[in-house]
Amino acid sequence: QLADSEFSPVFRLLTIFAYGTYADYLAEATNLPPLTEAQKNKLRHLSVVTLAAKIKCIPYSVLLEQLQLKNVRQLEDLVIEAVYADVLRGSLDQRNQRLEVDYSIGRDIRREELSTITRTLQEWCQGCEVVLSGIEEQVSRANQHKEQQLALKQQIESEVANLKKTIKVTTAAAAAATSQDPEQHLTELREPAPGTNQRQASKKTSKAKGLRGSAKIWSKSN
């Protein structure tokens, strides 16, 4: 209703402050209400925000042209005011003559931009679904690997238990065959039978005596 009324210039000026720039105001300045210096600076701050949404490193030449400022000193003072007003955050690179923006506030959205925003959000949702699908696939693989490892562990434990049973049964069968205790049977296998050492010792003694006797005979004959 305001757009079609006698207040249409004021409504147009309001829309420029909502999502326009200082260059937009200058293009229609003859048909719009005049601005005070504070209002001009406010619109210039918003214009810097609009540029920051597109370019993170804005050259001084672009800012001077868009904001219609006379020199770099005025530009830097304007940017410092915007930083103190928490409109944007960044740093002035005087050597390279540019403004490096780290953060800027958001502005109102035109109706014709809604379709672009909707499309961007849909693409973002599709990307999230792809990432979620990938995560679910990795979780499924991890669970399968875990199940395989548990099955392998159970198989090894079962084989070890069967091997222990087999050893016990074999040892018991050998003991039953000799009608002896298994431990006694193993002890007898390790130790020689009684009397064996005595016979070997007597043989060694007789051999030693014979050698000594022969040695005496040999010395007497010499």
pLDDT score at 211: 43
Residue 195, pLDDT score: 53
What is the pTM for the complete model shown?
0.57
Q: Residues 214, 220, 222, CA angle at the centre, nearest 5°?
A: 105
What pLDDT sits at residue 8?
A: 86
Regions of the chain where pLDDT drops below 50: 198-199, 201-222
Assign 3-class secondary structure to the chain. CHHHCCCHHHHHHHHHHHHCCHHHHHHCHHHCCCCCHHHHHHHHHHHHHHHHCCCCEEEHHHHHHHHCCCCHHHHHHHHHHHHHCCCEEEEEECCCCEEEEEEECCCCCCHHHHHHHHHHHHHHHHHHHHHHHHHHHHHHHHHHHHHHHHHHHHHHHHHHHHHHHHHHHHHHHHHHHHCCCHHHHHHHHHCCCCCHHHHHHHHHHHHHHHHHHHHHHHHHHC
Instruction: With beta carbons less than 8 A apart as the criterion, state whether 50 and 21 touch.
Output: yes
Q: What is the pLDDT of residues 105-132, one digit of tens each?
A: 888 888 888 898 899 999 999 999 999 9
64 and 20 in contact (C-beta within 8 Å)?
no
pLDDT tens digits for range 21-39: 999 999 988 989 999 999 9
